[in-house]
Structure 1
Amino acid sequence: MVVANQKGGVGKTTSTVNLAASLALHGARVLVIDLDPQGNASTALGIDHHAEVPSIYDVLVEGKPLSDVVQPVREVEGLFCAPATIDLAGAEIELVSLVARESRLHKAISAYEQPLDYIFIDCPPSLGLLTVNALVAGAEVVIPIQCEYYALEGLGQLLRNVELVKGHLNPKLHVSTILLTMYDGRTRLASQVAEEVRGHFGKEVLRTNIPRSVRISEAPSYGQTVLTYDPSSSGALSYLEAAREIALRGARKQQEQHMVEGTQ
């Protein structure tokens, strides 16, 4: 699942790590790939990511196996992370001259042999080669949208890029999930934006909204997700519910696929 939105500050990294932790806490084996040079997902999962640490940069640019850089997350059993280091900031430029530059992440994931139920790829807030690598490697796109003014601005470009990648490089790619973040039920604006997004995207929008929450914001500074930092907070409960929706949707899709295969 590729978590993408080229707008910054919409809750991409927060949603990536908290959805991943929620699924792992329910017994799934989940890998988070941090593709953002800022390395915020790595920080939130308590993973060391200073310059000397083997990272996703080595996988993309040097061709290192993904298994060499994946680390287990100490706080959550079944959760793993391929960290990002600051080296990744130069990867956009270095990738330009490499063979099959758009599909290097896809190749690395295909060669990864550990059993996994979910892979979440946290994208940088841009539509460059790192995000394209994520879109080529992924099957589904998750778009967090903050419930604020200009929420849908710039989304057209992301959706066009998804269609381009689908048409040329990855036919199975599709936008499967829209997640409303930073929802403040006390404001009319939040409910207006939620209504607009639901009208625009329909059934892709999860029923669960992620509220504005101090606990969600505080957790990364302790190297934790909100699930371990404050499990009973509204933020933690909302992410657990959103993850449950995602898991149920996935199970339903698999059932439908088996039925289709059975009738063929």
Structure 2
Amino acid sequence: MNKTELKEFLDNKVEQYNNRDFIESDPVQIPHLFTKKEDVEIAGFLAATISWGKRPMIIKNCLLMMDLLNNNPHDFVMHHTNEDLEKLADFKHRTFNGIDLQFFITSLKNIYTNHKGLEELFAKNISNNSLQPAIHEFKKVFFEIPHPARTTKHVSDPLKGSAAKRINMFLRWMVRQDKLGVDLGIWKRISPSYLSCPLDVHTGNVGRKLGFISRNQNDAKALLELDTNLRKLDPIDPVKYDFALFGLGVFEGF
């Protein structure tokens, strides 16, 4: 396929998968449960954090997590007591456990109290038309308070070579202005053109078959290759092609 044919092919796949039917089988349904901005972004951040493994289990544990937060995540973050945190101790999703969740709640309170919230923190650290430096700065702030050493592995750092798939997915949910309603687009201070594709096994494999990625590893350098090529197809909304790559990989075995 030439570039025009490839773009037409992928645009058709975006149209096929970027619709509200996608929500019911995807963790993006968790932030869709809420309407208050802070609830949406906290629910989205926590859901994205545990989004690895089989999607039914991810969704089940996300719903459990929201229940533990009284289905009022911002209020829980801002007003929790030590007794409230104790109720989170038994939570577990793969290697993310109650210790990690307790610290995430504590750190989020610090961010909303002392850094004006998640959107402000990411928006002020964009560099070179990319959110990857902002993710690096976010991780520094996230762990600026005393924290368990084990928990640092649950926030990736693209400047240390990670593709940061889960945070990039969270940012897609918050930033992308999606007329079809999958991505929530509640953050208005960040351009969707700065977003990076959530790079995982499926998008990586499809990206290589389409010639977007030459590297074997799904790392920060591979993500830069993918982003560069997707921005050539659509410089305004490049990560819409995540739907095409993911759909081709997961649903079609491309």
TM norm structure 1 = 0.29
Higher relative contact order (CA 8 A, sep 6+): 1
Higher helix proportion (structure 1 or 2): 2
